[in-house]
């Protein structure tokens, strides 16, 4: 398999991770979110995770739990990052935004129970930064078309 296709597939898979999290939290598909416990049912998609935060940043994350603005930012982030990565458009800004999300979730996960430093958030962070650095949107997606749009040429962060 060509390395370009591997980058494209890795980008699509990462996009699906974000988009799936959004869909599951909205519709309660029975994986992380059970039916009746969805955002549509009025349950905060961030409260459970943030209330469970411990370690040196626990109090900070507890203060954010259930905040409507935090919920909306989180859910819009999951949706838009997922769609951008799957389609291959706006990969840079999606990857950087997803990286910020992963860093925040890593801090909220402290202390990590399975490894003192590295967990899936760190791996996802590195994958996202790699996708941005290689221009992964151009492989198996609409990235080539997207980067030739006038507004994208003027704002390279939108590539």
Does residue 27 carry a pLDDT above 90?
A: yes
Mean pLDDT over the full length of the chain: 94
Give the tens place of pLDDT for each residue, 97-107.
Answer: 999 999 999 99
Measured over the CA atoms of residue 38, residue 39, residue 42 and residue 45, the dihedral's sign is: positive
When pLDDT is cut at 50, 70 and 90, the band that residue 96 belongs to is very high
Number of domains in the chain: 1
Residue 118: domain span: 3-158
Which two three-digit tokens encode residue 39?
A: 């955002």
Q: Rounded to two decimals, what is the model's pTM?
A: 0.93
Give the tens place of pLDDT for each residue, 105-142.
Answer: 999 998 888 888 899 999 999 999 999 999 999 999 99
């Amino acid at each position: 398999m060509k390395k370009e296709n591997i980058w494209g597939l890795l980008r699509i898979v990462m996009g699906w991770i974000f988009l799936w999290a959004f869909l599951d939290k909205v519709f309660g598909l029975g994986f992380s979110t059970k039916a009746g416990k969805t955002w549509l049912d009025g349950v905060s998609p961030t409260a459970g995770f943030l209330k469970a935060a411990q370690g040196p940043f626990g109090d900070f994350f507890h203060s954010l739990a259930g905040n409507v603005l935090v919920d909306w930012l989180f859910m819009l982030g999951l949706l838009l990052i997922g769609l951008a990565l799957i389609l291959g458009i706006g990969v840079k800004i999606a990857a950087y935004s997803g990286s910020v999300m992963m860093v925040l979730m890593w801090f909220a996960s402290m202390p990590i129970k399975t490894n003192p430093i590295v967990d899936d958030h760190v791996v996802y962070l590195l994958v996202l930064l790699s996708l941005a650095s290689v221009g992964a949107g151009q492989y198996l997606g609409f990235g080539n078309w997207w980067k030739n749009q006038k507004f994208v040429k003027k704002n390279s962060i939108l590539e």
